[in-house]
Amino acid sequence: MTPHPEPAFFAGIDWGSQSHHACVLDADGTVLGEQEFKHSGSGLGLLIDWILARTRAGPGQVRVAIEIPHGPVVDSLLDRGFPVHSINPKQLDRFRDRFSPSGAKDDRRDARVLADAVRTDPHCLRELRALDPTVAQLREWSRMADDLTKERTRLANRIREQLWRYYPQFLELGADLAADWTLALWKLAPTPDAARRVRPSTVAKLLKKHRLRRFQAGEVLATLRTDPVTTAPGVVDAATAHVGLLAQRLGLLNEQVRSADRSLADLLGKLTASEEPAEGQPAEQRDAEILASLPGVGRTVLATLLAEASGPLHSRDYQALRCLCGVAPVTKRSGKARRVFRRRASQPRLVNAAYHWSRVAVQHDPISRAKYRALRERGHPHGRALRTVADRLLAVSCAMLREGELFDPHRAAPAS
């Protein structure tokens, strides 16, 4: 990140869905102006022009604080060259106490608090940087893929509930109810009576089309044709109609999930196109190649790391990474009492990525496996052992990123 000149002015922006409140201070904390601006293209342009007019300085000399670390307000400020810092809402609440111990709160006051916080304690705030266009797309597709997967699971659970009402033998197949072949099988035999009329050759063609070898047509039909449960009149028709609507939504959702996976693969391919880091190569590409070489890092984990932790990765900030991933414990000490807790203030998607990263690394990396076993033998539960493994992997990642080298298992030190 290009260093900015020493700031002489400080601005705080309390953003909102309809309007944004701004406050500008000088180096002594004197208020130079306070004003509200509408959230629109022209409104954001007026906000920036107003800040420059009040300070009579260049964008690089005005340090801006804002609560949200992304969005059009941040993008507009970064595009004009302002150094922008984000503040955690919990931090903002503590800074607010300096102005109002009684807990009073309003948008104008929050803008003043933000400006004063970045004036007196810039080290407590996180400086933001403009995202690489590919990383920006990767973040959006990664989040969409995560949302689609969760929605797929929810719809599959709803289908399971309806099948339990009238067709429990279908559940005995133990198949993924959201899979395309399962939906096709249900359309072929939506009720126990319909299953009795289906030919084994028809089911065999369906299984062959979807390349399934763990099921035989005869076994599938034998399961579906077992004695049905007794239901009240109309229940089968109602449940069948319900499953039919859910199946249509799942069919579309499956296609969207595949589309998201293809987009993620294409974007990661752009970031990891070259075989090894080269001089002059963009930092995001070098980082993607290095992280992809680590044990346990697959497409989903890599996309999540690059999308949700681009700032700490760019600055090689190990402490910030371990906090965001939830692997840094929280210690509370007072007098002789000392208690250590699992960190809850973290980024949920990064927490999930760190869990699966360490879980797969334990399966394929001898050092991670040895560390995990040692922790388990000392009495640590499964989750805590995996978090410790993830903590080590993050430290290794930061060291590799600083050196600009790919992972080499032969250089790794034995697990302690």
Per DSSP bridges, beta strands 62-66 and 330-334 are unpaired
Cα–Cα distance measured from residue 70 to residue 65, given in angstroms and rounded to the nearest whole number: 12
358, 387 contact by CB (below 8 A): yes
Q: Are residues 126 and 140 in the same domain?
A: no
Express each pLDDT in 228-267 by its tens digit. 999 999 999 999 999 999 999 999 999 999 999 999 999 9
Q: For helices 200-209 and 217-224, what crossing angle results, to 10°?
A: 120
What CATH number is attached to the domain comprising 25?
3.30.420.10
Is 37 among the domain residues? yes
Q: How many domains does the chain have?
A: 3
Q: Are residues 243 and 337 in the same domain?
A: no
State whether residue 297 is helix, strand or coil: coil
Q: Give Cα 384 distance to the centre of its chain.
A: 21
Express each pLDDT in 268-304 by its tens digit. 988 876 444 455 555 556 788 899 999 999 999 999 9
Q: Are residues 124 and 205 in the same domain?
A: no
Q: What single DSSP character describes residue 45?
A: H
Cα–Cα distance measured from residue 190 to residue 242, given in angstroms and rounded to the nearest whole number: 11
332, 338 contact by CB (below 8 A): yes
Judge whether residue 1 has pLDDT over 70.
no
Is 190 among the domain residues? yes
Least confident interval from 67-71, 75-79, 218-222: 67-71
Taken in order 150, 153, 159, 161, the sign of the CA dihedral is: negative
Q: Are residues 163 and 241 in the same domain?
A: yes
Q: Are residues 100 and 224 in the same domain?
A: no
Q: What is the pTM of this model?
A: 0.81
Q: Domain ends where: 238, 263, 288? A: 263
Task: Give the 3-state secondary structure of 74-114.
Answer: HHHHHHCCCCEEECCHHHHHHHHCCCCCCCCCCHHHHHHHH
Q: Are residues 188 and 232 in the same domain?
A: yes
What CATH number is attached to the domain comprising 157?
1.10.287
- Let me know if 224 is exposed, middle or buried by CB neighbors in 10 A (0-12, 13-18, 19+): buried
Quote the mean pLDDT of the chain.
89
Is 64 among the domain residues? yes
Residues linked to residue 31 through DSSP beta bridges, in sequence order = 25
Instruction: Give the pLDDT of residue 277.
Output: 47
Express each pLDDT in 402-413 by its tens digit. 988 888 877 655
Judge whether residue 98 has pLDDT over 90.
no
Please give the backbone phi and psi of residue 34, each rounded to the nearest 5 degrees, phi first: -140, 135
Q: Domain ends where: 232, 263, 294? A: 263
Structural domain of 71: 9-130
284, 135 contact by CB (below 8 A): yes
Q: Are residues 218 and 240 in the same domain?
A: yes
